Structure 1
Amino acid sequence: MSTREKQRLPKPDWLRIRLATEGNYAELKTMMRAKTLHTVCEEARCPNIYECWANRTATFMILGDICTRACRFCAVKTGQPTELDLAEPERVAEAAEQMMLRHCVVTSVARDDLADGGAQVFAMTIKAIRKRLPLCSVEVLIPDFMGNWDALRTVMDAKPDILNHNIETVRRLSDKVRAKAKYDRSLELLRRAKEMQPDIPTKSSLMLGVGEEWDEILEAMDDLRAVDCDILTIGQYLQPTPNHLPVERYVHPDEFKALKEEGLKRGFRHVESGPLVRSSYHAHEQVQSAAAALTHSAGN
């Protein structure tokens, strides 16, 4: 065992995960492989994969499985992609139809090798899902497209039901945690998305346990609300391999609860906050909660 591994903090009891690899989980895994599809659930080693797949929900990862960035928290493979599969959107739509999804989440690796960062494929995927499943809401979790706002417009013109882009961490730690992505550029993306399509809810996420302070978390919330971000998810960072950033601390569930209250006080329509929360965790419920909050606000 390496010195780095010996220094890793032991996981607390509240991070225990129930494994359930039978039933729907096995069926979905077989289907994904048969259609040559990738999910961020697998590639990013999401702790909720067993629960979500057992409930027949998954987050599709388009544009291949090789990311052009090497963020220090992420388990997705990095390197130089070699191809672009334009038939992928239709296969994603077929899988969503086969799963009879009510809410579909689509994300991607970063494709800085493409002029539009893959925006056109995002748009094609949204349209393909809508054609097969008109009643299914579609959420996209997009990269920053290196500040290419024409690429962002391509996605927004396809009118996803939710536009998600994660700032990941507080301003002070952004350059340490993320590769190429910039804190202010992420905020600008969220601002422009709302400007382009005011009726489409925007969403972002923070992961805790990489060295942030309480006041910095609140500042990040304020920054997101300043660009009219509607939905916030907050979860615990878990080190995927010894080569990634170490966990500085495990945040207690009571602190996550307090942060949810802080977020709601600041005007987020919905805040999902807990140790195992990830950006797409309970995504369908987030949509419903945010819509209910908007209706309530409009009625007052």
Structure 2
Amino acid sequence: MAPRDLSDRTQRHPEKAHKADAPILKKPDWIRVKAPTSEGYRETARIMRENRLVTVCEEAGCPNVGECWSQGHATMMIMGEICTRGCTFCNVATGRPETPGALDVFEPGRVAHAVEKLGLAHVVVTSVDRDDVKDGGADHFAHTIRAIRHRAPETTIEILTPDFLHAEPGSLEKVVEARPDVFNHNLETVPGLYPEVRPGARYFHSLRLLQRVKELDPAMFTKSGIMVGLGEDRQAVHQVMDDMRAADIDFLTIGQYLQPTPKHHAVARYVTPEEFASYEKAAYGKGFGMVSATPLTRSSYHAGDDFARLRSARLAKLAD
């Protein structure tokens, strides 16, 4: 069964618009990807539909969906498909959930069943922002982690969480206590662009969230990422790297921002592969344990392989 058509999202949620009808720059050759056609892609889509699961691969229009799904890798998106925030870069639908404060109690089990069915060695679980839920969905994340552990105990688990900015005290602790292998929360862009790119979030709150994870569990791997091509300069990117290292973040991802529709934030420019290589070299020099910096890098792209290398590097360092 083919993935459902999500092309009407911006019409249903016009409040997402920013720089309306800005022209979309022509993509350079290095950013082009093939349309998904493989049998593996179709099988992954079938499993997602059978379990009534939402994936960020579809909702956010990820350019790597064909490659990842052909290998049976999909990033699960829990807590529905309506986000209560209005980030201007994101293609996930924005609005008010039909039943505010309510979450599907059976969803963690369906996610775990899909992980088992796909035979995943590593799974990434993300979510929409749910500011209408008291704990921001922290308990739901914890239930999902535990359900996966029960059904697929050998699978390593990476979570990509919202910022829990409006959540009640103790919410973050619920997630950390469930012991995911990787705790990821993306800063998304440089602080100077937050008012126009991520208006509902706070840069230093997000940074502090990741620092707090390390305080709660120093052994837990932390991860964060940013997009480039939104209008930032090189100095600001390097400052974000320094801020991340001060928060003891292990893993950095940097990818090219791609404008989903003319209603979203415009692409300021396409960053060259050589510039990405320079960012990667600089990041390793600043002390990150793992860096993925390419035009098509996304938070969950090759996440399993990268995590395995990161974990091996830590073990080797401890053995010295």
1:229 equivalent in structure 2: 249
Question: 1:85 aligns to what SS in structure 2?
Answer: coil
Distance 2:22 2:218 in 1: 49
The amino acid across from 1:196 in the alignment is L
1:33 equivalent in structure 2: 49
2:211 equivalent in structure 1: 191
Describe how 1:232-243 pairs up with structure 2 within 5 A: 232-243=252-263
1:135 equivalent in structure 2: 154
Of 115, 127, 145, the match for 1:108: 127
Describe how 1:74-85 pairs up with structure 2 within 5 A: 74-81=90-97, 82=99, 83-85=102-104
User: Is 1:250 the counterpart of 2:266 in the alignment?
Assistant: no
| Superposed CA offset, 1:68-92 (max 9, x none) | 0110000001111124101000000
Distance 2:59 2:21 in 1: 22
TM-score (norm 2): 0.91
Q: Is the deviation greater in 44-53 or in 81-90?
A: 81-90
The question of whether the paired residues in 1 share the 8 Å contact of 2:136 and 2:166 is answered with no
Quickly say closer, same or farther: Cα 1:109–1:6, change in 2 above 3 A.
closer
Question: 1:290 aligns to what SS in structure 2?
Answer: helix
**Displacement after TM superposition at 1:66 (Å):** 0.5
Describe how 1:246-285 pairs up with structure 2 within 5 A: 246-285=266-305
Distance 1:159 1:4 in 2: 42
Q: Is the deviation greater in 159-168 or in 286-295?
A: 286-295
Consecutive unaligned residues in structure 2, runs of 5 or more: 1-18
The question of whether the paired residues in 1 share the 8 Å contact of 2:253 and 2:297 is answered with yes
**Displacement after TM superposition at 1:299 (Å):** 3.5
The question of whether the paired residues in 1 share the 8 Å contact of 2:24 and 2:259 is answered with no
The amino acid across from 2:31 in the alignment is L
| Superposed CA offset, 1:18-58 (max 9, x none) | 22323011111122112110000000000000000001111
2:68 equivalent in structure 1: 52
Q: Is the deviation greater in 45-54 or in 74-83?
A: 74-83
The question of whether the paired residues in 2 share the 8 Å contact of 1:106 and 1:139 is answered with yes
1:123 equivalent in structure 2: 142
The question of whether the paired residues in 2 share the 8 Å contact of 1:269 and 1:289 is answered with no
After the TM superposition, which parts of structure 1 deviate over 3 Å for at least 4 consecutive aligned residues? Answer: 3-7
RMSD: 1.3
| Superposed CA offset, 1:271-293 (max 9, x none) | 00100100011000111121122
The amino acid across from 1:103 in the alignment is H
User: Is 1:169 the counterpart of 2:192 in the alignment?
Assistant: no
Quickly say closer, same or farther: Cα 1:172–1:250, change in 2 above 3 A.
same
Consecutive unaligned residues in structure 1, runs of 5 or more: none
**Displacement after TM superposition at 1:100 (Å):** 0.4
The question of whether the paired residues in 2 share the 8 Å contact of 1:28 and 1:53 is answered with yes
Q: Is the deviation greater in 170-179 or in 185-194?
A: 170-179
1:18 equivalent in structure 2: 34
| Superposed CA offset, 1:155-212 (max 9, x none) | 0000000000000001111221113111000000001011001100000001000000
The amino acid across from 1:115 in the alignment is K
Q: Is the deviation greater in 79-88 or in 182-191?
A: 79-88
**Displacement after TM superposition at 1:5 (Å):** 5.4
Paired-residue identity, %: 49
Quickly say closer, same or farther: Cα 1:265–1:21, change in 2 above 3 A.
same
Distance 1:278 1:15 in 2: 13
The amino acid across from 1:151 in the alignment is S
Quickly say closer, same or farther: Cα 1:40–1:89, change in 2 above 3 A.
same
The question of whether the paired residues in 2 share the 8 Å contact of 1:162 and 1:201 is answered with yes
| Superposed CA offset, 1:221-275 (max 9, x none) | 0000000000000000000011100000000001101101111111110000100
User: Is 1:145 the counterpart of 2:146 in the alignment?
Assistant: no
Distance 1:5 1:79 in 2: 21
**Greater relative contact order: 1 or 2 (C-alpha under 8 angstroms, separation 6 or more)?**
2
